[in-house]
């Protein structure tokens, strides 16, 4: 029971201190490592699976992490934790945005939030890459996928399929 409460508190913290999506990854990583629930490699695997699974990244990560830590009940608790703050803040933000929608201060705050979120995501990419994925095969797969996505404008399902095939061929 104590582990479920810790899981709930961890995901409430994640929900309250992130802006959804990839900005949750460093916080999930930190919580999983600080509680010794997972290793960095396991968190990276969960993030990869959550990215490929339909639905929001944060709730997918919460589902997989909660399931790993405490089974089905853990998945439910982690999702409640990650969604409750977002729902609460969305309702409050709706009222505030309606009232202050022409505020230059609010516009300035949003301008500052964007680069901060990008910095958090880049930090996780660099940290996880240094610990898990630095290999010539990973660089080749990443470059091919980037070329398919941005150069040839291919769809995500095709890029995932190509990445999996390259992983099988290059890494075995």
Q: What is the mean pLDDT of each run of 10 residues along the chain (172 residues)?
A: 91 83 86 91 88 84 90 93 84 84 83 86 79 76 91 90 91 76
32-35 long-range contacts, CB within 8 A, separation 24+: 32/65, 35/6, 35/10
Q: What is the pLDDT of residue 156?
A: 87
Q: What is the pLDDT of residue 100?
A: 81
Q: What is the pLDDT of residue 132?
A: 67
Q: Are 49 and 64 in contact (CB under 8 A)?
A: yes
Residue ranges of alpha helices (H) inside the chain are 2-17, 25-34, 40-52, 57-100, 104-128, 136-146, 156-171
Query: What does R_g of the chain's alpha carbons equal in angstroms?
Result: 18
Q: What is the pLDDT of residue 172?
A: 72
- Rounded CA gap, 66 and 122, in Å? 25
């Amino acid at each position: 029971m104590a582990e479920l409460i810790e899981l709930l508190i961890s995901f409430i913290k994640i929900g309250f201190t992130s802006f959804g999506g990839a900005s949750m990854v460093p916080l999930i990583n930190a919580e999983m490592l600080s509680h010794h629930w997972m290793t960095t490699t396991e968190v990276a695997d969960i993030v990869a699976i959550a990215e490929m699974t339909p639905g929001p990244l944060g709730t997918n990560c919460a589902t997989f992490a909660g399931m790993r830590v405490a089974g089905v009940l853990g998945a439910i608790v982690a999702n409640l934790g990650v969604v409750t703050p977002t729902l609460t803040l969305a309702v409050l933000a709706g009222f505030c945005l309606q009232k202050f929608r022409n505020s230059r201060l609010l516009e300035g705050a949003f301008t500052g939030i964007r680069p901060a979120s990008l910095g958090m995501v880049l930090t996780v990419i660099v940290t996880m890459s240094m610990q898990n994925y630095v290999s010539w095969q990973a660089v080749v797969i990443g470059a091919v996928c980037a070329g398919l996505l941005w150069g040839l404008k291919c769809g995500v399902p095709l890029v995932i399929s190509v990445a999996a095939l390259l992983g099988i061929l290059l890494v075995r």
